[in-house]
A and B are shown apart, each in its own frame.
Chain A
Amino acid sequence: MTQQDLAEAIERENTQLESIERRTHISLLRRLASLRLTLWLIALLAIGTILALRQEGARTWPMVIPLGLLAVNLLSAIATNGVFRRQTALLVFHLSLVALLLLVAAGRLTYLKGHAGVTEGTNFEGVLAEVERGPWHNGKLSSVSFVNNGFTIEYAPGLQRGATRNDVAWRDATGRSQRSVIGDQEPLVIAGYRFYTTFNKGFAPTFRWQGADGTAVFGSVQLPPYPMHEYSQALEWTPPGSEVSVWVMLDIDEVLLDREEHSTFRLPEKYKLVVRVGNERHEMRSGDTLSLNDGTLRFEGLRSWMGYRVFYDWTLPWLLAACAVAVISMGCHFWQKFAAKPWDA
Chain B
Amino acid sequence: MDSQTPMSSSIQLAHGSGGLMTRELLDQIIFSTFKNPFLEQKHDGAIVPLKGPVVISTDSFVVSPIFFAGGNIGDLAINGTVNDVAMCGGVPEFISLGFIIEEGLDTSDFVKIVQTIKAAAEEAGVLIVTGDTKVVESGKGDKIFINTTGIGSPHPRAHISMDRIRPGDQLLVSGPIAAHGMAILSQREGLQFESEIRSDTTCLNHLVSDLLDEFGDQVHLLRDPTRGGISSVCSEIAQDSALGVLLRETALPLDPQVAAACEMLGLDPLYVANEGIFCAIVDAEAAPKILERMKSHPKGGRAALIGEIRSEYPGKVVMESAVGGSRIVTPLIGEQLPRIC
A binds B: no
